[in-house]
């Protein structure tokens, strides 16, 4: 599980202090600092821009604040991470929340079939505006297929909302990733469904600022995804498929191991 830099150690400190019964108070920033500003991002090569909100960092290289292919497990090995925004404060400091990351990536030289499968888990090519059994979202004036992935060892430790769209031989992809740790023996409180929805809403707000240089429509409001109802604990670890409908075909690439 990838932790945003800056307060990763605070999570560890908090868990240790609770385990030994320490009364020390842990100071974790719960809101962005007053000096924080919105950071505009623009990828001139692929024509995508969006705004990173106050209190989030912005990086254009992988492994600075994250490991893309461990978080975006269904992304192709050929996918190029173009940017990642990472939350730098913790709105729920005494919970199991450990990070949120917003990824933009592009896989060149692919097919519409492979692109759609990364989000839906299905191998089929069909116009997105003609689908009725899939979640399709308008992002910047273009239809993106939406799917969900989650995994972990003892509990769900990573949740990923995946959005993909095919254009001119390339797969454009956004990942809204939420990381948590297991509350067992830590003393931390599990995130509630409302809190998870609020974190997803923060990332959906970034998605709602996306502009595509080839589209005239401009930014379009994107709703926060609904939290899937899944068991918190499963005996052999948690490894949820993007889709559980009949005929599901596993993604072609699953990246790293669950439960980082």
Please state, as a whole number, how many other Cβ atoms lie within 10 Å of the Cβ of residue 34.
6
pLDDT of 185 reads 76
* Tens-digit pLDDT profile for residues 55-73: 999 999 887 766 899 999 9
55-64, 88-97, 242-251: which is most confident: 88-97
pLDDT of 184 reads 85
3-state SS track over 75-96:
CCCCCEEEEEEEECCCCCCCEC
What are the two backbone dihedrals, phi and then psi, of residue 15, each rounded to the nearest 5 degrees? -65, -40
Segment 122-144 shows an average pLDDT of 68
In the chain, where are the structural domains located?
A: 8-29+38-240
- pLDDT band for position 254 (50/70/90)? very low
DSSP secondary-structure letter at 40? E
97 forms beta bridges with: 180
**Who contacts 207 (Cβ-Cβ below 8 Å, separation ≥6)?**
50, 102, 139, 163, 174, 176, 222
CA distance 2 to 175: 14
pLDDT above 50 (res 109)? yes
pLDDT of 130 reads 45
DSSP secondary-structure letter at 69? H
The radius of gyration of the chain's CA atoms, rounded to the nearest angstrom, is 18
Here the tokens at position 43 are 């990828």
- At the topology level, CATH places domain 8-29+38-240 in Protein Transport Mog1p; Chain A (3.40.1000)
Here the tokens at position 106 are 């592009």
CA distance 125 to 207: 25
Please state, as a whole number, how many other Cβ atoms lie within 10 Å of the Cβ of residue 162.
27
* Tens-digit pLDDT profile for residues 192-234: 999 999 999 999 999 999 999 999 989 999 999 987 654 333 3
pLDDT of 28 reads 63
Work out the angle at residue 77's Cα, subtended by the Cα atoms of residues 71 and 78, and round it to the nearest 5 degrees: 125
Mean pLDDT over all residues of the chain? 79
45 Rama sector, left if φ>0, alpha if ψ -120 to 50, beta otherwise: alpha
What percent of the chain has pLDDT above 70? 71
> Is residue 115 within a helix (H) or strand (E), and if so which, with residue range?
helix 112-120
Here the tokens at position 240 are 């949820």
pTM to 2 decimal places: 0.77
N-to-C CA span, the chain: 4
């Amino acid at each position: 599980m990838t932790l945003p830099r800056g307060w990763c150690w605070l999570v560890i400190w908090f868990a240790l202090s609770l385990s030994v019964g320490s009364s020390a108070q842990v100071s974790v920033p719960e809101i962005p600092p007053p000096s924080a500003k919105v950071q505009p991002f623009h990828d001139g090569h692929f024509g995508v821009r969006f705004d990173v909100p106050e209190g989030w960092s912005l990086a254009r290289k992988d492994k600075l604040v994250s490991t893309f292919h461990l978080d975006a497990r269904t992304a192709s090995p050929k996918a190029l991470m173009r940017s990642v925004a990472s939350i730098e404060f913790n709105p729920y400091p005494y919970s199991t929340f450990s990070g949120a990351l917003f990824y933009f990536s592009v896989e060149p030289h692919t097919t519409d079939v492979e692109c759609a499968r990364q989000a839906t888990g299905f191998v089929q090519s069909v116009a997105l505006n003609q689908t009725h059994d899939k979640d399709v979202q308008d992002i910047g004036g273009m239809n993106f297929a939406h799917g969900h992935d989650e995994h972990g060892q003892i509990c769900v430790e990573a949740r990923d909302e995946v959005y993909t769209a095919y254009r001119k031989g390339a797969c454009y992809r956004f990942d809204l990733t939420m990381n948590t740790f297991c509350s067992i023996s830590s003393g931390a409180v599990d995130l509630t469904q409302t809190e998870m929805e609020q974190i997803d809403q923060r990332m959906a707000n970034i998605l709602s600022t996306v502009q595509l240089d080839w589209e005239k429509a401009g930014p379009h409001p994107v709703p926060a995804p609904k939290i899937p109802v899944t068991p918190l604990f499963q005996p052999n670890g948690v490894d949820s498929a993007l889709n559980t409908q009949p005929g599901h075909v596993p993604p072609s690439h699953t990246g790293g191991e669950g439960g980082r």
